[in-house]
Structure 1
Amino acid sequence: MARSPYPGATAEDFRRLRRIIAEDQDWSLTLVPCLSNLCLQTIVRNFEEKPIFEELSPIHKNFVHERLSTSLPLHKTANLISDGVYWKRCCEQRWDICDLNQYGHSWKRMFLERHLEDIIEFFIPDVTELKTILEMVPLCKNDVKRLNISQLLPPIKDPQKEEQEEDFNSELTSDNEDSGQSMDHFEFDILLNKLPKLEEFHLVYRVKQCGMNFERKMFEMSKRDCESLAKALKSCKTLKLLKLHQSQIEDKKCRLLVKSLLDHPSLRELDFSHNLIGDRGARAIGKLLTRSKLETLNMCDNDIRGPGAKAIAHALSKNSTLLSLNLRLNCLGDEGGQAISKALLNNNTLLHLHLGANRVTGPTAIALSKVLLQNNTLKSINLSCNSLGVDGGEALREAMSINTSVTECDIRLTEVDEQTVSFINQVVWTNHSSEQKRQAEKSETKLTSCSF
């Protein structure tokens, strides 16, 4: 029997002297994962085959949020993973700039909206399958509230077929007809009625990077596009804001679009700026003002003249919802400018009016000054880049001397003398300061009443 090297040592002593040397030199008891973490890691690794999420506690959900792969297919995550860190990781990995303020502070909404926008913007008719869009609808319909489409691609042309069609069309087309073939784009009537929470729709018909393949028709909607869009807008009952600009919309298309918006239950803001809308289109807009609850109307940079402005003015005199009207960069002239001014004698709701760069002169300024003498609703007026002249400036000066509501009045580049401009600016500043003081007192009173 071998003798112990430690005579008299007990079994307890041997247990204390025993050493276990780990094969991993960095091993430590503190590094051993708990069983729950091992289970969660297994869930993360097998999420695509067996997604488990709702059954987890909030702490465990956060664990999964931070570790799930951002390349998982959307049909596995969209309706299962709630807003949080996972969607933040997806957004930041895909886009360099992520402004959460535009998406109701929701990462999930940002990802789904921008993903759908990308699909639409790179949709090529007759090439991209419609199911690419339709499969997205069940995944995003409860989160998409805003779509901003900055380009729409036309169909890909077959050079040989195009040449044959051009030869054929040249034989059939008379001198007064346009031989160009219209280009169709993504048809929105298959989508908008399937988005029950869509509130804002920004759209422009153009190709952002056409390079040497530039064609004028790449920057306008076709007749078929217009019909499809009109049908889509009519079916989208939740829409509050529509912005359709820089798309070469003329009177006929404007009238078709407006027809689909008559009596719309929720539309509050309409922007048709930077198009080709003339007097006939303006008449349709006037009709829309009488059969809608629009609060903001932007018709900047079109071709509206006196008759069209009269139609809008007639509707404005009866309207009780419009708060802002922008007619900048049109050709109203004094015929249209005076009509708009006279309409405001019967309107007590409009707050902001922009008539800049409209070829209006002194008579319009004089007509508007009569409004300022009795209208206490208008807050801002813009008459810049018009030839108002000395008489027009003097009329505005007399009216502003007793006006207490206008807090913004832009009369730059109007041929009004500097003394008049300085006087009006001083009045505007005084009105603005008084308005701020009233708002502060109102807020203080509200806080005091709430404290009781």
Structure 2
Amino acid sequence: MPVLNMSKSTAPAGIYPPVTKLNPAADPRKMRRIIAEDPEWSLAIVPSLRNLCLQHIVQHFEEKPVLNNLLPSQKAFVLEKLPSSLPLSLTANLISDEGYWRRCCEDRWGMRDVSEYDHSWKRMFFERHLENIIELFIPDQTEPKSVLDVVALCQNYVRRLKITQLLPPIKNPPKFDEDDTSDSASDLGNDGPSMDHFDFRILLNKLTNMEELQLVYGVRGCGMNFEWNLFEFTFSDCEFLAKALKSCTTLKILKINQSKVDDEKCRMLVSHLLDHPSLLELDLSHNIIGDRGARAIGKLLNRSHLKRLDIYDNHIRGTGAQALAHALSKNTSLLSLNLRLNQVGDEGGQALAQALLKNHILLNLHLGANELTEPTATALSHALVHNSTLRRLNLSCNRLGEDGGRALEEGMSHNNSLLECDMRLTGVGLESEYCIKRHLRTNQAKGMRDTPASRRSIEN
């Protein structure tokens, strides 16, 4: 059979494809090319329709908030992407996610310890936000509506306010006559009118979960603009605050420190705190309360449920301490009394010791730096023989002397309940101090054996 010898040149059309010859002189810039706009683009990272919809929700959340109708995973995606700058009128009652409020806190104040806010970032944000508004409130200039608008949003979350400054109204600069020859700048500080501060009546009755209030009537970091009026707790301030406190029936802890609370203002506050349904702790330390104020506080002790009273660093003397002792002898609720840095003297010290003979509830008594001497130590020694409830006694920085030390040593030898007794800088002598500490260690060991856990271990 003959063999066909077919070459490309003689082959019929259609067996081999036509050959296209490239022109080596062709311009490569005129050649067709495809260049991706995103060099990292890949079909594998094309966002899903679900993510595109969620991103749209995030971008338009302020105009149309969509959250509660989403699935849990979708809701978590949106909350993670939402900015912390959204208006509170939108987020306060809509968002409860702790992760979102944590970002709000950290973006505004940096890293903070949330444990003192019951580990609630939302509570921390609203408490600190309201504190900042009050601390920057300028009477007669700041609109009260700015506070009330925030209160309407945060009243369910605020349980404590720690106000470290309260600003007075802005005064107009004084006018000087050309012939004024006075060159004393210190004469200008007290000539102006009374400087009233923020009125708490517009606030406290609206905070239905309020439990603790701490106040300082002064200006933080005033620097070269210092004036005494910046640290004045006026009588109007006191009257407004007292009425506000009476309306805040959920309040448990009240602290007013470094605010020049004197006898009259103390009496005003106490008159509105009598028979308060929930107050448990009162701290009026670092003020200028005297004997009349102490008598008012003594009246409060037996017309309240106070468990802790701190009135240290005031001007209370013997008469005021006697009034407190009289109330203490009848009191059935107070657990801790701190009177350090006053001037109660032996007159007040002996009265307080006599009160311990009748009081069977007080656990802690602090009488440090009160000008006490040997007569008070002797009275306390007699009280320790009969009192079986006191656990901590502080007598530091008094002039008890060696005779006072021996008297306390005798009383401690008959006491089985006192666990701590601070005798620093009292001059009681090393021997008496050693013996007192030995009795304390015995009581401490006995107390450990008497605990329920210890009794169970002994029984087992």
**TM-score normalised to the size of structure 1?**
0.88
**Contact residue 281 and residue 307 of structure 2 kept, 8 A:** yes
Report the Cα offset of residue 215 of structure 1.
Answer: 1.0
1:124 is aligned, of 125, 128, 138, to 138
Q: 1:288 deviation in Å?
A: 0.3
> Deviations along 1:203-252, whole A, 9 cap, x unmatched?
00110111111111211211111111011100000000000010000000
Task: Give 5+ residue unaligned stretches, structure 2.
Answer: 1-12, 18-33, 181-189
C-alpha deviation, 1:442, in angstroms = 5.5
Verify: 1:84 aligned to 2:94, yes or no.
no
Which piece of structure 1 moves more, 430-439 or 67-76?
430-439
What does residue 279 of structure 1 align with? Answer: 291
2:238 is matched by which residue type in structure 1?
A: C
- Rounded to whole Å, the distance in 2 between the matches of 1:155 and 1:384 is 43
**Which of 32, 49, 59 is the matching residue for 1:35?**
49
Of 194, 197, 218 in structure 2, the residue corresponding to residue 185 of structure 1 is 197
Note the C-alpha offset of 1:423: 1.6
C-alpha spacing 1:21/1:215, structure 2 compared with 1 (3 Å): closer
Query: What corresponds to 2:233 in structure 1?
Result: 221
Q: Provide the residue aligned with 1:254 in structure 2.
A: 266
Matched, 1:434 2:449: no
SS of the equivalent of 1:136 reads helix
Q: Which whole-Å CA distance do the structure 1 matches of 2:82 and 2:397 have between them?
A: 57
Q: Is the 8 A contact 2:448 2:454 kept in 1?
A: no
- The aligned residue for residue 412 of structure 2 is 400
Instruction: Find the residue that maps to 1:381 and give its secondary structure.
Output: strand
Return closer, same or farther for 1:31/1:331 CA change in 2, 3 Å cut-off. same
Does residue 140 of the first structure (1) align with residue 189 of the second (2)?
Answer: no
Question: What one-letter code is carried by the residue in structure 1 that aligns with 2:298?
Answer: G
Cα distance, 1:36 vs structure 2: 2.7
Q: Within the alignment, does 1:264 sit opposite 2:276 as a pair?
A: yes
Q: How far is 1:83 from its partner?
A: 3.8
Q: CA RMSD in A?
A: 2.3
CA distance in 2, matches of 1:427, 1:29: 82
Residue of structure 1 aligned with 2:327, choices 308, 311, 315: 315
Which of 323-332 and 97-106 deviates more? 97-106
Matched, 1:104 2:118: yes
Deviation for aligned residue 1:258:
0.6
Q: Secondary structure at the match of 1:409?
A: strand
Q: In the alignment, which residue of structure 1 is the partner of 2:361?
A: 349
* Structure 1 Cα separation of the partners of residues 110 and 366 of structure 2: 36
1:413 equivalent in alignment to 2:442: no
Residue from 331, 352, 369 that aligns with 1:340: 352
Give, in whole Å, the separation in 2 of the partners of 1:200 and 1:312.
Answer: 24
The corresponding residue for 1:363 is 375
1:51 equivalent in alignment to 2:65:
yes
Query: 1:371 corresponds to which letter in structure 2?
Result: A
d(CA) in 2 for partners of 1:42, 1:432: 66
Hey, what does 2:86 align to over in structure 1?
Answer: 72
Displacement after TM superposition at 1:22 (Å): 6.7
Instruction: State the distance in 2 between where 1:3 and 1:26 align.
Output: 44
Distance change (3 Å), C-alpha of 1:23 and 1:430: same
Quick check: which one's helix share is greater? 1
Q: Which runs of 5+ in 1 are unaligned?
A: 6-19, 168-177
Letter in 2 for 1:397: E
- TM-aligned CA deviation for residue 444 of structure 1: 5.0
Q: Deviations over 1:185-206 (max 9, x none)?
A: 1111110001000101000011
SS of 1:159's equivalent in the other structure is: coil
Amino acid in structure 1 at the alignment position of 2:150: M
Taking a change above 3 Å as real, the CA distance of residues 163 and 428 of structure 1, as seen in their structure-2 partners, is farther
* Contact 2:167-2:197 at 8 Å conserved across structures: yes
Deviates more, 1:202-211 or 1:396-405: 396-405
Partner of 1:152: 166
Report the AA paired with residue 304 of structure 1.
I
Q: Which residue of structure 2 lines up, in the alignment, with residue 331 of structure 1? A: 343
Q: Give the total of aligned pairs.
A: 420
- CA distance in structure 1 between the aligned counterparts of 2:76 and 2:140, rounded to whole angstroms: 43
